[in-house]
A and B are shown apart, each in its own frame.
Chain A
Amino acid sequence: MSRITSVFTELKAAKRKALIPYITAGDPSLDSTVPMMHALVEAGADIIELGVPFSDPMADGPTIQLACERALAHGTRLRDVLAMVVEFRAQNQHTPVVLMGYLNPVEAMGYDVFVEQAVASGVDGVLMVDLPPEEATEVEGFFKDADLDMIYLVAPTTTDERIQRIAESGTGYVYYVSMRGVTGSNALDVPDVERNLQRIRQFVSIPVGVGFGIQNSQSAAQVAAISDGVIVGSAIVNLIAANAQQPDMARQQVANLVAGMRQAMDA
């Protein structure tokens, strides 16, 4: 059983939902990321989505675009991100780490090399935003053979037919994008999310996490009540950006936000 599946199984037994924060690796500096990952776990994170910076983040709003630019400004490469996971694993063997980003850095490294190094580094899953299941047919063998979970997005516009296709290919969990738009949008419609989750669950048996538009404890609790996991990205990245010069302050503020969400979700 993968580390991701184990965590969801434990949570289910404890009647709790997964809290899944996202940060962009290397933002604002290479050495701030691993301490932030530990702080996220202490504050109550169950799984960490670690963003691999890319020059052209087409599906992201301004918050994560700027995070990518900050990380790339001092040359954060895919191999640096893998090194961060190694460093994180030296102290934490329990919390799953999912690399989230775009396909081209992986393609440039080579799928075989990437998969081998990701597994060796302690990565548990990958979510490549611009790799839909149709295009993954030639490469998903690399990931599945290595027991790396392949996490796919489902959008409000995804048809039932495509959800079935994603259900066949996806492992670990499915990431439901709560609205039409890019990351950092602010228009969460909880009843609409609930309707779509019912539709998704007709086809998907693995856990479904919900992301986009979750910015505070209240929305985290609302989404936790209807899903298997709450994914929080831009709200955290905004705090990191606001405290780019003060890593201790950034960690403290992010920890407060995440701990507040944890408390509200568990209440």
Chain B
Amino acid sequence: MSITTPIDLTLPDARGHFGIFGGRFVSETLSAALDELEKTYAQLRNDPDFQAQFDHDLAHYVGRPSPLYLAERLTAKCGGAQIYLKREDLNHTGAHKINNTIGQALLAKFMGKKKIIAETGAGQHGVASATVAARFGLECKVFMGSTDVERQKLNVYRMKLLGAEVESVTSGTKTLKDAMNEAMRHWVTHVDDTFYIIGTAAGPHPYPMLVRDFQSVIGRETIRQCDEQIGRQPDAVVACVGGGSNAIGMFHPYMPYSDVALYGVEAGGLGLHGNDHAAPLNKGRPGVLHGNRTYLMEDDDGQIMGTHSISAGLDYPGVGPEHSWLKDVGRAQYVAATDDEALHAFYELTQLEGIMPALESAHAIAYAMKLAATMRSDQVIVVNLSGRGDKDIHTVASLDGITA
């Protein structure tokens, strides 16, 4: 395996830029809070005590390392490359989101903040935030679009059981982007005692960097497990991309491995021909939203468009700035899977492997199945199975005509 460094691995730069992407495009009212966070993180990033606490909780609370599993029956069905699954669905709370919330809750603790807030789409990040709030004895408020509150009832209830307050957001399109707007507004007003745990690798600097760093445990483990279990690194790595935190956690450690192809799978919704999707890297253009410059779904006037995806977690008009940069420098390829393809993959993985994926992760499975069929049987694909599908049973059941 040749290891070269074709691209700059030191990014973001001091101002949070990945090429033209990223940055800190926020109102002055947030600048001091972001400066404070940036300074704290710069101190703690290489602090052995902080890293030891993070690693300890990842091992004993989250249950890491998560397994790397060869999906033999799925591989046989596709008739090509061997498909391995990185089992982030087996983490405590059922998704990769907890890696990041542990890291940010530790930051909150070091900064002496007693309250945390979070935005959530599917509810996975909200649950992961409510969970660490309970674990660290912090007050927690989660902002969630009212449309998502309706379609993710189970997770809303989980957050409430964990002691969090769920604030239903009725402005704009009533989904993830509006939840993020509202969380920012709340943060501006309560910045003294409140830490904002952003759930994806987007937002103003330093969030894209710190979320990536916390999620990079996924890729680092995968590299080690591939060495141990396969004796080499995979030919391709596949992950779904909404904001893109699970994907960047998998991709970032792989960036120097130039023989490993990186595929990010966006939500193709009803198809990329119209506007009913959430695929800014495939169909959008660069713009500024939520504190960073990145690819966006926007109209000619620069207004942010509503998006559509079967999975609430991918239903977001932007994407983390590092993905925009990886697209433009050509290190990663960004493709899409439609609602129907994701749903088909959901059934296939459930029935062939006894693993029920989150609808978000089912997008990655869907593309990996297509890709595997074009590859040889001695080749290897690793799919980041970012979350489990329990939360989506309601959605799938109603599509099947079953009313709970």
Chain A interfacial positions (CB closer than 8 Å to B): 54-62, 65, 69, 72, 77-79, 102-109, 129-132, 134-135, 152-155, 157-159, 162, 166, 177, 180-182, 185
Question: Which B residues are in CB contact (< 8 Å) with A72?
Answer: 303
Question: Which B residues are in CB contact (< 8 Å) with A59?
Answer: 27, 29, 184-185, 188
B190 CB, nearest partner CB in chain A, Å: 8
Q: Give the residue of A54, A177, A182 whose beta carbon is less than 8 angstroms from that of B303.
A: A54
Interface flags for B164-190 (1: CB within 8 Å of A; 0: not) read 000000011000011001001100111
B179 CB, nearest partner CB in chain A, Å: 11
Contact status A105-B303, CB under 8 Å: yes
Which residue of the partner chain B has the closest CB to A177? B29
Which residue, B25, B26, B296, has most C-beta atoms of chain A within 10 A? B25
Q: How far is the CA of A61 from the CA of B189 in the complex (A)?
A: 11
Contact status A177-B301, CB under 8 Å: no
B111 CB, nearest partner CB in chain A, Å: 15
From known contacts A56-B177, A135-B25, infer whether A104 and B188 are also in contact, taking CB-CB under 8 Å: no
Contact status B33-A103, CB under 8 Å: no
From known contacts A56-B304, A109-B302, infer whether A155 and B29 are also in contact, taking CB-CB under 8 Å: yes
- The binding surface of chain B is classed by DSSP as mixed
Which residue of the partner chain A has the closest CB to B33? A157
B24 at the interface (CB under 8 A from A): yes
**9 A-B pairs, CB-CB below 8 angstroms?**
A59-B185, A107-B288, A153-B28, A155-B29, A155-B32, A157-B31, A180-B188, A180-B192, A181-B189
Contact status B23-A135, CB under 8 Å: yes
Question: Which B residues are in CB contact (< 8 Å) with A102?
Answer: 288
Q: Give the residue of B25, B31, B287, B302 whose beta carbon is less than 8 angstroms from that of A162.
A: B31
Chain B interfacial positions (CB closer than 8 Å to A): 15, 23-29, 31-33, 35, 171-172, 177-178, 181, 184-185, 188-192, 287-291, 296, 298, 300-304
Q: How far is the CA of A157 from the CA of B301 in the complex (A)?
A: 33
Q: How far is the CA of A157 from the CA of B31 in the complex (A)?
A: 8
Give the 10 A-B CB pairs with smallest separation, nearest first.
A108-B302, A157-B32, A105-B302, A153-B28, A59-B27, A181-B189, A104-B302, A77-B301, A55-B303, A55-B304
Q: How far is the CA of A159 from the CA of B33 in the complex (A)?
A: 11
Question: Which B residues are in CB contact (< 8 Å) with A162?
Answer: 28, 31-32
Which residue, B28, B188, B289, has most C-beta atoms of chain A within 10 A? B28
Question: Which B residues are in CB contact (< 8 Å) with A108?
Answer: 287, 298, 300-302
Contact status A69-B189, CB under 8 Å: no
Contact status A55-B287, CB under 8 Å: no
Contact status B177-A154, CB under 8 Å: no
Q: Give the residue of A54, A79, A130, A185 whose beta carbon is less than 8 angstroms from that of B189.
A: A185
Contact status B33-A58, CB under 8 Å: no
Q: How far is the CA of A61 from the CA of B303 in the complex (A)?
A: 18
Contact status A106-B302, CB under 8 Å: yes
Contact status B288-A130, CB under 8 Å: yes
Contact status A180-B189, CB under 8 Å: yes
Question: Which B residues are in CB contact (< 8 Å) with A152?
Answer: 28
A64 CB, nearest partner CB in chain B, Å: 11
Which residue, A59, A135, A153, A155, has most C-beta atoms of chain B within 10 A? A135
Q: Give the residue of A58, A129, A157, A166 whose beta carbon is less than 8 angstroms from that of B191.
A: A157
Contact status A107-B289, CB under 8 Å: no
Question: Which A residues are in CB contact (< 8 Å) with B26?
Answer: 58, 130, 132
Contact status A107-B15, CB under 8 Å: no
From known contacts A130-B291, A181-B189, infer whether A104 and B304 are also in contact, taking CB-CB under 8 Å: yes
A164 CB, nearest partner CB in chain B, Å: 14
Which residue of the partner chain A has the closest CB to B20? A138
From known contacts A56-B181, A185-B189, infer whether A131 and B302 are also in contact, taking CB-CB under 8 Å: no
Q: How far is the CA of A166 from the CA of B241 in the complex (A)?
A: 37
Contact status B185-A182, CB under 8 Å: yes
Q: How far is the CA of A61 from the CA of B287 in the complex (A)?
A: 23
Contact status A78-B181, CB under 8 Å: no
B81 CB, nearest partner CB in chain A, Å: 41
